[in-house]
Amino acid sequence: MMLVLEDVSLEKNGKYILKNINAKFDRVKIYAVLGSNGVGKSSLAYTIMGLEGYKPTSGKIKLNGEDITNSSISERATKGITLLWQEPVRFQGLTVKQYLTLGGKLKISTKDLEEVMTLTGLSPELYINRFVDNLLSGGERKRVELASILLLNPKYAILDEPDSGIDIMSLGMIEKIAHRITKNGGTVILITHREEIARIADEAYLLCNGTVFTKGDPVKVIHYYKSRCDECMHVNIPSIEEAQL
């Protein structure tokens, strides 16, 4: 059971956003996709999820051997791929409970619902009947989105900057969320520019200028990222030999 990217490139207006990305995401593992601003992390997430405008220009995406490169977002979602957006969407007219249970369609016990809400920092008492609308802050909506992903028990959860906009989203909380997903048989892909978050992963990919610059043990990848990428700004792209860990 795995999600594989084979030589995936994405070109926009004659510029490569992603170039020859090769990656393998095994089931029940935590991965980090690390990189500075603008290296293509979110674009990679959108490409895996199949968003409009993010169909690979070349290369293939395969899920358990099946080519899903041309599958729609909903087909991918049905197969268990989910994405936590960097900027959560605004929903009107639903309470947190209605939103998280898909209007009652998702059969979950109150205990599970409350457990997941607590895990994502939403006190059930305070939030269960609140409306998911403009009165919730960006950080609160993000927590609701995270809770909704957890309740779907995804096979692949791509979490794009799970901590952005959430000041008190502690590392411990992200770790617990990731482990709950793997405990239920899912794989987590953590998109981040924070080394502390990448440290949670079993394996890390470092992106630079739209390519996988290096991958492997998070500690080694983070070391490389810390020592070089902060100052990189993609002008001074290091040579491949330097990245040999």
Applying CB under 6 A, the residues found at the interface with ligand ATP are 12, 17, 35, 37-43, 53, 193
- Which phi and psi angles does 116 have, rounded to 5°? -70, -40
Smallest gap, in angstroms, from Cβ of residue 37 to ligand ATP? 4
- Label residue 208 exposed, middle or buried (CB < 10 Å: 0-12, 13-18, 19+): buried
Smallest gap, in angstroms, from Cβ of residue 150 to ligand ATP? 23
Smallest gap, in angstroms, from Cβ of residue 61 to ligand ATP? 16
Give the nearer residue to ligand ATP in terms of CB position, either 38 or 124. Answer: 38
Separation CA 200–CA 178 (nearest Å): 9
Give the nearer residue to ligand ATP in terms of CB position, either 5 or 152. Answer: 5
Give every strand in the sheet of 203-208, ordered side by side.
Answer: 81-84, 156-160, 187-192, 30-34, 203-208, 211-216
- Which phi and psi angles does 214 have, rounded to 5°? -160, 165
Smallest gap, in angstroms, from Cβ of residue 17 to ligand ATP? 4
Beta bridge partners of 211: 208
Give the nearer residue to ligand ATP in terms of CB position, either 187 or 211. Answer: 211
Smallest gap, in angstroms, from Cβ of residue 54 to ligand ATP? 7
Give the nearer residue to ligand ATP in terms of CB position, either 151 or 161. Answer: 161
Q: Which position has the token pair 């926009």?
A: 12
Give the nearer residue to ligand ATP in terms of CB position, either 17 or 198. Answer: 17
